[in-house]
């Protein structure tokens, strides 16, 4: 029985990391290749979860001669801009719709590879949980 719980929990850890890895990879790409632009706050959205940064809908121009704005949603937690206020946004030049506020990009990460550090932590958690469940059910 313990073997099945261990396999289940190891699979849960791998699946969790597959979900989390693309987000961390996009954030690393923004840190390495991102370009800054001035964003103009167009509205506020609620955080996705309690304790998460505020989400702000804003318009950016990736080129000075560009007509109109690209609308993106970014996260911010240092200071929430008021509607119409300008703030700095970092965007991916290959995909300008992927952007974040400068304060989120500056946020401290463990060598910029937090997802790699979290993999053994998640795996340990799932294995510990699986072991406890196996003992409790056995």
* pLDDT tens-digit readout, 53-85: 889 999 998 887 878 889 999 988 778 899 999
- In the chain, where are the structural domains located? 2-137
CB 17 within 8 A of CB 122: yes
* pTM score: 0.65
Q: pLDDT per residue over 3-42, tens digit each?
A: 676 677 667 767 766 666 667 777 888 888 999 999 999 9
């Amino acid at each position: 029985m313990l073997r099945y719980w261990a396999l289940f929990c190891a699979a849960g850890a791998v699946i969790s990391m597959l979900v989390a890895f693309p987000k961390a990879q996009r954030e690393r790409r923004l840190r390495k290749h991102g370009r800054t632009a001035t964003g103009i706050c167009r509205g506020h959205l609620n955080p996705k979860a309690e304790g998460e940064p505020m989400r702000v809908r804003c318009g950016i121009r990736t080129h000075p001669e560009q007509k109109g704005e690209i609308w993106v949603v970014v996260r911010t937690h240092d200071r929430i801009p008021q509607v119409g206020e300008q703030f700095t946004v970092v965007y991916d030049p290959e995909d300008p719709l992927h952007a974040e506020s400068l304060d989120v990009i500056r946020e401290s990460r463990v060598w910029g590879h937090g997802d790699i550090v979290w993999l053994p932590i998640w795996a340990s958690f799932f294995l510990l949980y699986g072991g406890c469940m196996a003992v409790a059910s056995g």
